[in-house]
Amino acid sequence: MKKNILIALIISCVLFASSCATVSYSPWVSLDVSPKTINKTVLVEKFVDNVPESDRKNPFTGFSVTNKKALVNDLSIDVTNAVTADFSNNAVFRTVSRKIDSPDYVIKGEIIRFKGQTKMTNYAKISMFSYVGIVTWLFPIPMTVNSTDVELVLSIYDNKGQLVGKYSGQNDFKARSNMYNNKQNAIGAETDKTFGIALSQIREQILQDAPKYK
């Protein structure tokens, strides 16, 4: 019995150590080719970062991928580049670039939410400092929880500065895992997936408005 308790406590400590680990994160999306292309040239300006501090803050016994220590580069630059690359590579418009002379349209974006956090569950925290950790070893009780939430707003202006369309996309995700399938290290990929779903919503709205972009 004492041996089982010791093992459980060791495992709990390992989970705690992994939750305190640092990560390197750079947001990216991987979407399919656009079903149709708007035959216009588009300039993408650097997005405005209005992400709340709560999204960036490392939770107790966990970490956030948008924490300053985790981000490889500036969040607004990476998100802008990711959206630009997707719109260009997947042919949402004929030409899309961060630098282009005399564009037909200009995209201005705002990052409302960009959350990717993982932390230990309340039970996991309690088990670290008590004998209830043995239950964790015997049963697949959730020990960690991953939470993501991404919300973007894109506004498209013509070359005279007139607003043509405003589009928003939002998606969130939450998943718990036990000590046998700990998914804390997957938080970066899960955040990117949430980012991709939010952006795909915006792409769909833009394509529905294709007749506006003559």
Return the pLDDT at 60: 81
Return the pLDDT at 201: 98
Query: Which residue from 58, 182, 52 is spatially nearest to 110, judged by alpha carbons?
Result: 52
Return the pLDDT at 142: 56
Q: Indicate the number of domains in the chain.
A: 1
**Alpha carbons 82 and 78: distance in angstroms, whole number:** 6
106 and 42 in contact (C-beta within 8 Å)? yes
- Specify if 157 maps to a domain: yes
Return the pLDDT at 4: 42
The gap between the terminal CA atoms of the chain, to the nearest Å, is: 75
- Specify if 1 maps to a domain: no
Low-confidence ranges of the chain (pLDDT < 50): 1-19
Return the pLDDT at 178: 62
Return the pLDDT at 10: 45
- Specify if 99 maps to a domain: yes
- Specify if 10 maps to a domain: no
**Alpha carbons 47 and 151: distance in angstroms, whole number:** 13
- Specify if 5 maps to a domain: no
Q: What is the domain range of residue 200?
A: 23-121+143-212
Return the pLDDT at 126: 53
- Specify if 11 maps to a domain: no
| Stated pTM of the model | 0.83
- Specify if 7 maps to a domain: no
Looking at residue 203, which CATH number applies to its domain? 3.40.50.10610
**Alpha carbons 29 and 36: distance in angstroms, whole number:** 19
Return the pLDDT at 185: 83
- Specify if 9 maps to a domain: no
Chain mean pLDDT for the chain: 85
92 and 44 in contact (C-beta within 8 Å)? no
